[in-house]
Structure 1
Amino acid sequence: MQIYHPHNYLTALWLCAVFFLSACSGGSSTRLPLDKIKADLADEPTYSVVLEDMREQGTFFKTYSHKYLVVKPDDSTRTDWLEVPETFYNQNREFLGMALISKKDGTLDNQVAPPGYSYVGDPKYGNWRQDSQGGSFWEFYGKYALFSSLFGGWNRPIYRNDYAMYNQSRSTNRPFFGRNKEFGSTGSVVKAKNPGFYSRRMEANRAAQSSFKQKAAKRMGRTKTGFRSRSGGFGK
């Protein structure tokens, strides 16, 4: 005859709870794919990692994934879908098509920026040229001449005024999304480069705004009803 032990039951229940909480945490205790990329490229003096795509899947138990474009002076590679924690996904939700990290001459820069901006202004990488309209723009040259094409269409010509605005944002530790907000998940660059993601993102934004307005309207309705109910007692 098998004897029932409450202690064994409680132990099993505790283990199930630990497993469930670990699953819900999105693997926060594991190393981020971006950290692995940095470790793999430890000997590379110059590179950028662009957030090329992102997705969330599932209904009750969601998984979150990133795809990266790794750009070096002479080539670029794309990763497969890499699962990331929900917190990290949300932290970078606005940065599709932007460089999450850049390394320049051995110095790592973790400040998010439009692709290529981290190398502008350094004569080792290029110089300022004038276009036919008299505008001053940055041109990569020498061993970095391929940089512009290797960014896979996520970059745009960098004009001196744009670079000045970028430096201003950088000095206050704020991401720079472009003079006309063309970079990032809701910008025109993503709309042109990844229209499917752009449409889904804008639809999600509209749904969130609509839900917020509906909740606010319901709260206002309850407030007005409560006020009329209380005020109705006066004069009796």
Structure 2
Amino acid sequence: MAWRVAALALWGLIACGSKDPVRELIRDLDRYPEYSLIVDDTRIEGSFFPDYALRFQVLTAAGQRVAGRDTIVYEERRTDWMEVREETFYRYEKYVGMVVASKSLDGRRTGTSQAHPPGYQYVGNPQYGFWGGGGFWQFYGQYALMRDLMGGWGVGRGDWEDYRRNRERGRPYYGPTKGGRPTFGSRGSQTQKTRPQFYQRQQSRRQAFSGQVKNRMGRTTSGWGRGSSRFGK
């Protein structure tokens, strides 16, 4: 239990303000043989001098002895809200619902430059599941949490191959794009289904910002119009 107390203490310090909470969390999570760090939610409060905050979802795996057998046990939890600087906020805000850092049992790691939907790093590995009918990946029952993190999204072979190519090239992967819209990430269609409250807040914030920009442009245009009239006299 000591490691849990230490982790909570560290997260409490990070929540008070950090240059980059992802880097701090990775240092703590490295004790686990396997983990996924997911951007869970974002928050902006205030207008003139806004405060920015991020919250993360953490999935860890550790070996435990259950019913006399050695097994891997997965745990899921969320951090407190972490206040961050504006530039840090916008570094991660587009990745809501996506993994920004991970480590698998084979030692493979991914970072923010390879951000991807949760669970994709396990697809194609026969330890976690198999390719079922219709060419979609099926997780074994004990790994149902991976499927739940995807919100029930079915990963097809072509989808998985696109993910692998982007990972190898060091690029983020937002899932298939349909109608010019990604599946995952802050603007993703799947994110709208699995995080409806976040998505609604985000849309309202963007509409409010767009309205402010239009009002400013309107005042500027009006001012120039009056100025031109005076110069014309």
Normalising by structure 2, report the TM-score.
0.69
Output the CA distance in 2 between the equivalents of 1:186 and 1:137. 24
1:103 aligns with 2:103: yes
- 1:158-173 pair list within 5 angstroms: 158-170=155-167, 173=170
Output the CA distance in 2 between the equivalents of 1:177 and 1:41. 24
- Which residue number corresponds to residue 22 of structure 1? none
Output the CA distance in 1 between the equivalents of 2:79 and 2:36. 17
Q: Which of 124, 127, 130 does residue 130 from structure 2 map onto?
A: 127
Output the CA distance in 2 between the equivalents of 1:167 and 1:107. 13
Aligned residue type for 1:146? A
Secondary structure at 2:97's aligned position in 1? coil
Report the Cα offset of residue 113 of structure 1: 0.6
Aligned residue type for 1:52? D
- Which residue number corresponds to residue 146 of structure 2? 148
**How many residues get paired?**
199
- Which residue number corresponds to residue 92 of structure 2? 92
- Which residue number corresponds to residue 118 of structure 2? 115
- Which residue number corresponds to residue 37 of structure 1? 25
Cα-to-partner distance string for 1:168-197 (whole Å, 9 max, x where unaligned): 544664422222312122323332222222
Report the Cα offset of residue 41 of structure 1: 2.9
Output the CA distance in 1 between the equivalents of 2:173 and 2:223. 41
Report the Cα offset of residue 119 of structure 1: 2.8
Normalising by structure 1, report the TM-score.
0.68
Output the CA distance in 1 between the equivalents of 2:169 and 2:215. 36
Shift in CA distance, 68/130, structure 1 to aligned 2, threshold 3 Å: same
Unaligned runs of 5+ in 1: 1-25
Output the CA distance in 2 between the equivalents of 1:223 and 1:102. 53
Output the CA distance in 2 between the equivalents of 1:173 and 1:123. 24
- 1:78-89 pair list within 5 angstroms: 78-86=77-85, 87-89=87-89
Contact 1:100 1:112 in 2 (8 A): yes
Contact 1:148 1:155 in 2 (8 A): no
Output the CA distance in 2 between the equivalents of 1:119 and 1:149. 10
Shift in CA distance, 216/176, structure 1 to aligned 2, threshold 3 Å: farther
Q: Which has the higher strand share?
A: 2
Unaligned runs of 5+ in 2: 1-15, 62-71
Secondary structure at 1:76's aligned position in 2? strand
Report the Cα offset of residue 155 of structure 1: 5.8
Report the Cα offset of residue 61 of structure 1: 6.0
Output the CA distance in 1 between the equivalents of 2:100 and 2:60. 12
Output the CA distance in 1 between the equivalents of 2:167 and 2:56. 25
Report the Cα offset of residue 124 of structure 1: 4.4
Output the CA distance in 2 between the equivalents of 1:217 and 1:61. 24
